[in-house]
């Protein structure tokens, strides 16, 4: 016997939308994670290399903010990337307490084809949408995220 939430139409619509949104996100995340892991990186390692490639050298804190990861989680990821000589730590000129993470030449050579493959996979995943639909989806997603950021996370 199937049970369905019995309440207002708005509540039912929000719940159905949440389920669809969550399933789409989980499916896309699995596809992208698999794609990156096939290239020999974890999704976190890929994120670090990609952000350094496209933004440039950053502190661990700044990388964490871009990737929505805590500094403590990033330390191990960066340690492993340093061991592979894909990134290097450079002391900050103006703040002795801060370390800036730089992409090495080896890291650049590695991330370029992996990122291209990643982008091609994203293009394939989103090929069902036309340009206007992509803009709408992007705008709605941004609005949803910003609204929650303004509220703050409750613990």
- 153 located within any domain: no
| Residue 1 binned pLDDT confidence (cut-offs 50, 70, 90) | very low
Range of the domain at 80: 24-128
CATH of the domain at 98: 1.10.10.10
Q: What average pLDDT does the segment 101-110 reach?
A: 97
| Per-residue confidence (pLDDT) for residue 4, from 0 to 100 | 67
Domain count for the chain, please give it: 1
Kindly write down the DSSP assignment for every residue of 21-74, as one continuous string.
HHHHHHHHHHHHHHHHHHTT--HHHHHHHHHHHHH--EEHHHHHHHHT--HHHH
Q: What is the pTM of this model?
A: 0.84
Q: What average pLDDT does the segment 134-154 reach?
A: 83
**4-27 per-position pLDDT tens digit:** 667 888 998 999 999 999 999 999
**118-133 per-position pLDDT tens digit:** 999 999 999 999 999 9
């Amino acid at each position: 016997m199937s049970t369905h939430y019995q309440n207002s139409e708005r509540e039912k619509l929000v719940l159905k939308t949440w389920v669809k949104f969550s399933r789409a996100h989980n499916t896309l995340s699995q596809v992208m994670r698999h794609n990156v892991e096939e290239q020999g990186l974890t999704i976190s390692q890929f994120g670090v290399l990609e952000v350094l490639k496209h933004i440039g050298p950053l502190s661990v804190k700044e990388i964490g903010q871009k990737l929505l990861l805590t500094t403590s989680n990033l330390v191990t990821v960066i340690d492993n990337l340093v061991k592979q000589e894909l990134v290097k730590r450079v002391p900050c000129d103006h703040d002795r307490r801060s370390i800036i993470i730089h992409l090495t030449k080896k890291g650049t050579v590695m991330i370029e084809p992996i990122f291209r493959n990643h982008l091609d996979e994203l293009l394939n995943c989103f090929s069902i949408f036309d340009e206007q639909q992509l803009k709408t989806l992007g705008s709605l997603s941004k609005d949803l995220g910003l609204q929650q950021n303004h509220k703050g996370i409750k613990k």
